[in-house]
Amino acid sequence: MDLDWCLEKLTKNPPEVLPEQVVKGITEQLKEALIYESNVAMVESPVSVVGDLHGQYYDLVELFRVGGECPETNYLFLGNYVDRGFYSVETISLLVCLKLHYPRRITLLRGNHESKGVTQVYGFYSECLRKYGNANVWKYFTDMFNYLQLAALIDEKIFCVHGGLSPSISSINQIRVLDRFQEIPPEGALTDLVWSDPDAVEQETKPSPRGAGHIFGSQLVDKFLQDNKINHIIRSNQLCMDGHQVLFSGKLITIWSAPNFCYRCGNVASILEVFKANNSLTLKYNTYTAAPENERIIPSLETTKEIPDYFK
Amino acid sequence: MKNQSNKESVRGTGNSAALCKLSSVQKGYYADPFIQYFVQKKEKVEPIMNRGFYMRVHAMDRLISQFLNANSESSEGVQIIQLGGGKDTTFWRLRLSGENEVVNKLVWYEIDFPRTIQEKLRIISRVPKLQEPIVGWPNKVLKKTSKGAELHSPDYHLICGDLRKTEDLHNSLQEHGVNFEIPTLFISECVLVYVEPNSADKLLGYITETFKLPFFVLYEPTNPLDNFGKQMMKNLSKMGCPLLAIEQYNSIESQIKRFQKLGFNYVDVKNMKLLWDTLGKWEAENVDGQKERKRIIRLEWFDELEEWNMIMSHYFVLYAAKNDQISQEKFIKIFGL
**Chain B partners within 8 Å of A311 (Cβ):** 17, 20, 49, 52-53, 56, 190, 221, 311, 315
> Is A113 among the catalytic positions?
yes
Contacts of A127 (CB under 8 A, 6+ apart): A55, A86, A88, A89
Beta-carbon separation of B302 and A211 below 8 A: yes
Q: Looking at residue B221, what DSSP letter applies?
A: E
Q: What is the pLDDT of residues A1-28, one digit of tens each?
A: 799 999 999 999 899 999 999 999 999 9
CA angle, B176 as apex, B173 and B182 as ends, to 5°?
65
| pTM confidence score | 0.92
Rounded to a whole number of angstroms, the distance from the CA of A14 to the nearest CA of chain B is 22
ipTM surpasses 0.95: no
What is the secondary structure of B71-130 as a DSSP string?
Answer: TTT-TT-EEEEEET-TT--HHHHHHHH---GGGGGEEEEEEE-HHHHHHHHHHHHH-HHH
**Chain B partners within 8 Å of A309 (Cβ):** 16, 20, 46, 49
Residues of A with CB under 8 A from a CB of B: 112-113, 117-118, 121-123, 126, 209-212, 238-239, 241, 260-267, 304-306, 308-312
Give me the mean pLDDT over the A97-105 stretch.
97
| pLDDT score, position B8 | 84
Beta-carbon separation of A311 and B300 below 8 A: no
Rounded to a whole number of angstroms, the distance from the CA of A118 to the nearest CA of chain B is 8
Beta-carbon separation of B307 and A264 below 8 A: yes
Select the residue of A121, A304, A306 nearest B301 (Cβ to Cβ): A121
Beta-carbon separation of B305 and A305 below 8 A: no
Contacts of B223 (CB under 8 A, 6+ apart): B229, B250, B251, B252, B313, B314
Q: Looking at residue B288, what DSSP letter applies?
A: -
Nearest Cα to Cα of residue A72 among A48, A39, A44, A38: A48
Pick the more confident residue, A203 or A241: A241
Beta-carbon separation of A311 and B190 below 8 A: yes
- Whether residue A247 contacts residue A254, with contact meaning beta carbons closer than 8 Å, is answered with yes
How much of chain A exceeds pLDDT 70, in percent?
96
Question: With 0-12 CB in 10 A as exposed, 13-18 as middle and 19+ as buried, what is A301?
Answer: exposed
Beta-carbon separation of A311 and B56 below 8 A: yes
| pLDDT score, position B277 | 86
**What residues does B144 pair with on adjacent strands?**
B149
Label residue A302 by pLDDT band (50, 70, 90): very low
Give me the mean pLDDT over the A124-138 stretch.
96
| pLDDT score, position B283 | 45
Nearest Cα to Cα of residue A92 among A29, A51, A145, A129: A145
Divide the 337 residues of chain B into consecutive groups of 10 and give the mean pLDDT of each group: 73 89 96 96 90 95 91 92 95 85 91 95 96 91 93 96 94 95 96 93 97 96 93 88 89 95 93 86 49 88 94 95 80 73
The amino acid sitting at A270 is S
Interface test with A, best of B13, B301, B302, B310 (most A CBs within 10 A): B301
| pLDDT score, position B2 | 53
Label residue A307 by pLDDT band (50, 70, 90): low
Q: How many CB pairs under 8 A join A and B?
A: 87
Q: What is the pLDDT of residues A242-286, one digit of tens each?
A: 999 999 999 999 999 999 999 899 999 999 999 999 889 999 999
Q: Looking at residue B167, what DSSP letter applies?
A: H
Rounded to a whole number of angstroms, the distance from the CA of A8 to the nearest CA of chain B is 32
Give the 3-state secondary structure of residue A276.
strand
Q: Which residue among A54, A101, A113, A214 is the active-site one? A: A113
